[in-house]
């Protein structure tokens, strides 16, 4: 597949094109699109009813068109905008961008998408302003989200096909999402997994806890450094993507994340180390550092990384300093 063409019509995204191969010969276009790119029925209907949605060798066609080897198949989707999101100037740390994706390194303290009573100062506001300044009509489509006080990589799809493809990868568990965190204590093993169901706490529906009737939840961890028995640096990979999963799972094994004021453990919050670290970081020390996935259009493996933010670097230095003074 290829998609480097100039978008000459502002009402449509740049075309997505690929060349039919021998296995496509004699098949209906809808079958080829489902086989080659897993296109959904809903998106197929949108393309079918769009003036420039489906074409073969430059001519408009219908989904039942019979494909021949060597045909140039082109998809064009009509542009959309998120009319309810107010554009707002914001400094964005762009890790990767092309016609299909925008990947940002989100700072801590920023919500990804507007919520009730919180319509400004979100990542979505900043992205809409960025696109508006460039004269682009694009709807804000985050493929996944991070907690307000978690920093790191966020993927935003620029059109419905990219969103569909990336969401499917997320559902299939083929996306690698790796985080770096600093926790109190030391996990039971140097490397292992936490396989414990997570559900809402009865008394506080916003809080998640490990409970037998919760949703299956799997977290893989690897300790990369220890600071006596008081703290650990850990790389975490998600097997599932439950709300607050890492924070809940680490607390469940007696290793709450440093700086987390919501999921805590009295043993550590009243400790001398907690007192020393309280001024170093003002949020949970959790950073989405690495994403590996297949590009939704080209199929190329994407490996994107975001370095530790300054507050977590300071925390790492302070932990090292404390461990050498014990």
pLDDT digits (tens, 9 = 90+) for 233-275: 999 999 998 999 999 999 999 999 999 999 998 888 888 888 8
> How many folded domains does the chain comprise?
3
82 assigned to some structural domain:
no
One domain for residues 226 and 293:
yes
Identify the CATH number of the domain in which residue 116 sits.
3.30.2350.10
Residue 265 neighbours by CB distance under 10 Å = 19
pLDDT at 7 over 70: no
* Listed residue (194, 178, 179) closest to 249, CA to CA: 194
Of 172, 196, 224, the residue at which a domain comes to its end is 172
pLDDT at 56 over 80: yes
Residues with active-site annotation: 147
Which pLDDT value is given to residue 267? 86
Range of the domain at 106: 94-172
117 assigned to some structural domain:
yes
One domain for residues 65 and 148:
no
Residue 51 neighbours by CB distance under 10 Å = 10
One domain for residues 195 and 140:
no
Higher-pLDDT residue of 235, 79: 235
One domain for residues 303 and 264:
yes
Q: Which CA distances in Å does 4 have to 164, 227, 298?
A: 20, 49, 11
One domain for residues 166 and 224:
no
One domain for residues 221 and 314:
yes
4 assigned to some structural domain:
no
Give me the residue label for tokens 């559900």. Answer: 199
Q: What is the pLDDT of residues 99-111, one digit of tens each?
A: 999 999 999 999 9
276 assigned to some structural domain:
yes
One domain for residues 224 and 110:
no
Of 172, 201, 225, the residue at which a domain comes to its end is 172
One domain for residues 256 and 319:
yes
* Listed residue (101, 108, 125) closest to 294, CA to CA: 101
Q: What is the pLDDT of residues 294-323, one digit of tens each?
A: 999 889 999 999 999 999 999 999 999 988
Of 142, 172, 202, the residue at which a domain comes to its end is 172
5 assigned to some structural domain:
no
187 assigned to some structural domain:
yes
63 assigned to some structural domain:
yes
**Who's near 59: CB < 8 A, 6+ residues apart?**
none
One domain for residues 183 and 167:
no
Phi, psi (rounded to 5 degrees) for 148: -50, -45
One domain for residues 156 and 182:
no
Beta-sheet pairing, 151-157 with 286-294: parallel
One domain for residues 203 and 122:
no
147 assigned to some structural domain:
yes
Phi, psi (rounded to 5 degrees) for 127: -70, -40
Q: Is the pTM of this model over 0.95?
A: no
Identify the CATH number of the domain in which residue 35 sits.
3.10.290
Residue 174 neighbours by CB distance under 10 Å = 11
One domain for residues 293 and 194:
yes
């Amino acid at each position: 597949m290829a998609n480097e063409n100039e978008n000459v019509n502002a009402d449509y995204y740049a075309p997505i094109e690929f060349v039919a191969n021998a296995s496509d010969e004699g098949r209906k276009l809808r079958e080829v699109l489902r086989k080659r790119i897993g296109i959904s029925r809903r998106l197929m209907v949108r393309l079918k009813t769009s003036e420039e949605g489906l074409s073969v060798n430059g001519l408009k066609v219908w989904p039942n068109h019979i494909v021949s080897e060597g045909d140039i198949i082109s998809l064009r989707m009509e542009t959309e905008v998120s009319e309810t999101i107010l554009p707002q100037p914001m400094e964005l740390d762009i890790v990767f961008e092309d016609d299909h994706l925008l990947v940002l390194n989100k700072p801590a303290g920023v919500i990804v998408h507007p919520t009730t009573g919180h319509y400004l100062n979100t990542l979505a506001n900043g992205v809409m302003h960025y696109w508006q300044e460039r004269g682009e009509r694009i709807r804000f489509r985050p493929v996944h989200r991070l907690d307000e006080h978690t920093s790191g990589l966020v993927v935003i799809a620029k059109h419905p096909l990219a969103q569909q493809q990336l969401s499917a990868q997320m559902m299939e568990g083929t996306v690698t999402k790796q985080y770096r965190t600093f926790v109190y204590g030391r996990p039971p093993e140097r490397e292992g997994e936490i396989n414990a169901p997570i559900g809402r706490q009865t008394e506080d529906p916003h809080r998640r806890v490990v409970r037998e009737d919760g949703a299956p939840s799997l977290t893989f961890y690897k300790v990369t450094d220890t600071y006596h028995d008081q703290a650990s640096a850990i790389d975490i990979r998600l097997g599932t993507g439950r709300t607050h999963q890492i924070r809940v799972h680490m607390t469940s094994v007696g290793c709450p994340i440093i700086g987390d004021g919501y999921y805590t453990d009295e043993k550590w919050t009243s400790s001398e180390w907690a007192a020393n670290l309280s001024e170093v970081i003002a949020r949970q020390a959790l950073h989405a550092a690495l994403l590996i996935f297949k590009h939704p259009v080209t199929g190329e493996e994407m490996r994107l990384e975001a370095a530790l933010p300054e507050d977590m670097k300071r925390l790492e230095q302070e932990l090292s300093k404390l461990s050498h003074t014990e």
